[in-house]
Amino acid sequence: MDLNNYNFIKQVLNPVLESLDQPSDLDVGKLLAQSKTKVVESAFDKIQQTLLSNDTISQGEILDTINQTVQEICFSKTNELIETIAETKHEYQSMGNSSGLSDWSWLAYYDYFLEIGILTEENAPLFVEYADLVYNSKIYDCLLYEELVIVCALPESLHFNDNGLHGDGFPAIQWKDGYKQYYLNGTNVPEYLAITPTEDLDIQYFLSEISNADVRIEFINKYGIEHMCELGEVVDTYENYSDEWYHKSEYQLLNMGGLFDQELNLFLKMKHQTMDMFCLEGVENDCKTITEALSYRAEVDMDEYEIIDIK
Q: Where are the domains of the chain?
A: 3-88, 98-153, 158-222, 230-304
DSSP line for 161-173 = ETTEE--SSS-SE
Q: What are the pLDDT digits (tens) for 224-245? A: 988 889 999 999 999 999 999 8
Which residues are bridge partners to 100 per DSSP?
141
Angle in degrees, 0-180, between the axes of helices 36-51 and 3-19, rounded to the nearest 10: 160
Distance, CA of 107 to CA of 270 (rounded, Å): 50
How high is the pLDDT of residue 3?
45
Q: What is the pLDDT of residues 42-101, one digit of tens each?
A: 656 666 666 565 656 666 666 676 667 666 666 666 666 666 656 655 444 444 455 566
Q: Which of 75-84, 254-263, 297-306 has the lowest mean pLDDT?
A: 75-84
Lowest mean pLDDT among 151-155, 240-244, 272-276: 272-276
The kind and range of the H/E element at 157 are strand 157-158
Which residues does 295 contact at the CB level (< 8 Å), separation at least 6?
301, 302, 303
Q: What angle do CA 175, 181, 184 make, to 5 degrees?
A: 135
Q: 187, 136, 140, 135: which is closest to 164 by C-alpha?
A: 187
pLDDT given at position 45: 65
pTM of the model: 0.57
Determine the pLDDT at residue 147: 74
Centroid of chain to Cα 7: 49
pLDDT at residue 12 in the model:
52
Task: Evaluate if residue 307 carries a pLDDT over 60.
Answer: yes
Cα separation of 168 and 73, whole Å?
Answer: 41
Mean pLDDT of 240-262: 90
pLDDT tier at 24, thresholds 50, 70, 90? very low
When pLDDT is averaged across residues 253-282 and rounded to a whole number, the result is 88
